[in-house]
């Protein structure tokens, strides 16, 4: 997927995990929620700090995301579509990278700026 060509090795692992989550849920699209699951799977101290500042636990957010996403119907795989929202998050992360490789923390920051989606609601600070 050429849209992800400016990713660091760690961010590429996040993407591969997101794609696997997509397949595991029988989804034909790769969206921001799949990206969130990929980010939560990748060990990253900066993301850990960001989650801790909000009082969030990786395992709890992972479980809540998977429950909220549900599972699609079994289907023949002809490829995975990348949602416009995910494309926008990636573009935002590339902007934050300023020409450098996109790192997982930049994907997280860009995802947090995405408005109105499930992933953002799950990442909001707990009272």
CATH number of domain containing 35: 1.10.1780.10
Place of tokens 């400016």: 6
**Domain with 34 in it:** 2-123
Q: Structurally, how many domains does the chain consist of?
A: 1
Digitized pLDDT (tens) for each residue of the chain, 127 residues in all: 455 678 999 999 999 999 999 888 888 889 999 999 999 999 999 999 999 998 999 999 999 998 888 787 766 657 778 999 999 999 999 999 999 999 999 999 999 888 777 787 888 755 4
């Amino acid at each position: 997927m050429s849209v992800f060509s400016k990713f660091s090795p760690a961010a590429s692992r996040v993407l591969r995990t997101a794609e696997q989550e997509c397949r595991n849920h029988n989804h034909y699209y790769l969206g921001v929620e799949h990206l969130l699951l990929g980010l939560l799977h990748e060990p990253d101290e900066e993301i850990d700090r960001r989650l801790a500042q909000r009082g969030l636990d990786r395992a709890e957010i992972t479980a809540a995301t998977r429950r909220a996403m549900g599972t699609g119907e079994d289907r023949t795989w002809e490829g995975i579509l990348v949602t416009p929202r995910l494309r926008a998050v990636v573009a935002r992360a590339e902007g934050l990278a300023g020409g450098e490789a996109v790192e997982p923390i930049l994907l997280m920051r860009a995802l947090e700026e995405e408005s109105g989606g499930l992933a953002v609601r799950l990442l909001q600070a707990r009272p």
